[in-house]
Structure 1
Amino acid sequence: MYRKRDTRRDQLVAEITAQLRRYSVDAQHIGHAFAALHGLNATDLHALIAVMDAELYGQPMTPGRLGEQLNLSSGSVTALIDRLERGGHIRRDRDTADRRKVFLHYAERGATLAMDFFRPLGRRTDGVMAGFTDEELETVHRFMAAMGTSMREHRDAVRAESARRSAG
């Protein structure tokens, strides 16, 4: 139960914060269910999401960038990529202009597994979004983008503080 808030804005902020928290927990549960079903661990799942997002935004993922995003050493990234490639989840492609560069992409099998698992959620999401006007979706998009930026900035600050404490 929410405690009484002074203004409607205070109440909305509290409720939105609680809903974001719940959404995050629910999304983690769904992600963990997908991972468990396909023999993946949490890091594997985070890597697949990073590769998928990179493709979505047209910024091919490299092993180095993946390591930075997941805060992993190059050896750990290599083992991770090898494991995901063996499982048919991702593939490595060499850059045609510079053969030393490697890009990571979703493999056909991995994409099919993800689509099959997440298609029902996609239909539910589409149904929810259909209930909002384009203008409302623009506002939601701006809000979610700003919240995502805020979350990543906090994550990076926590990582930096953790590294600082470990070093000293």
Structure 2
Amino acid sequence: MTERDMLLHELDDAFRKMIRKFVAERDKVLIHGEVSLPMIVVLGKLLRDGPQKAGELAAETDFSSGATTQLCNRLVQGGYIYRTRPEDDRRTVLLHITEKGRAFMKWLHEQEAHDRFSLFDGFEEAELRDLLAYSRRIVDNMRPFFDSLHGLTELLDRQADRDLNSLTGDMRK
């Protein structure tokens, strides 16, 4: 195995561990016992850009449509956002931030106890630029990576079907 191969294996493990740990820890955080970090992303988007459709929010936040719906349902239940239907298109549902949601985001912005950028402590500006460039390249590589995995999965499924068919064909004899 080459040095590059060893580095790629180690980087693959470290990358997966980093993502799993980030998501697991992110999902444990509840501010005021009800507002999760993904919910804050939705509130921030509505605060900055105004009312939006759930599909637009999903696309711009990189959450699935199902996850966005769940987040929005919880935000509606908590009184942080509300839904409306425009008179000219009753099929459309727009999500709006409430005064409670605005007040929460203002309060959150004023909190100095947490530095959301502390994950990047110790990085010089040049390193941050490099990390940003590397992150963008990884995101760009994700589509071909997952397309390749989907292709492999389909190939293996077809092979398994053929194997099962030949096995059941042999059993009938």
TM (norm. structure 2) is: 0.52
Q: Which has the larger radius of gyration?
A: 2
Match in the other structure for 2:139:
148
Structure 1 residue aligned with 2:65, among 71, 75, 84? 71
- Please list every run of 5 or more consecutive structure 2 residues that lacks an aligned counterpart in the other structure: 154-173
Count of equivalent residues: 141
Provide the rounded CA distance (Å) in 2 between the counterparts of 1:84 and 1:39.
Answer: 9
Q: Is 1:127 aligned to residue 121 of structure 2?
A: yes
C-alpha change, 1:115 and 1:52, in structure 2 (3 Å) is farther
Q: Is 1:16 aligned to residue 14 of structure 2?
A: no
Provide the rounded CA distance (Å) in 2 between the counterparts of 1:147 and 1:55.
Answer: 28
Measured against aligned partners, the alpha-carbon deviations of 1:97-134 in whole angstroms (never above 9, x if no partner) come to x9977355592355346986x925x3532423xx3242
C-alpha change, 1:138 and 1:55, in structure 2 (3 Å) is farther
C-alpha change, 1:6 and 1:49, in structure 2 (3 Å) is farther
Match in the other structure for 2:81:
91
Match in the other structure for 1:165:
none
Provide the rounded CA distance (Å) in 2 between the counterparts of 1:109 and 1:56.
Answer: 11
Letter of the 1:142 counterpart = A
TM (norm. structure 1) is: 0.53
- Please list every run of 5 or more consecutive structure 1 residues that lacks an aligned counterpart in the other structure: 162-168
Provide the rounded CA distance (Å) in 1 between the counterparts of 2:71 and 2:142.
Answer: 25
Q: Residues 35 and 45 of structure 1 are in contact (CA less than 8 Å); yes or no, is this contact kept in structure 2? A: yes
How far is 1:36 from its partner?
9.2
Equivalent residues in 2 for 1:22-37, closer than 5 Å: 22-35=17-30
Of all paired residues, the percent bearing the same amino acid is 17
How far is 1:141 from its partner?
0.8
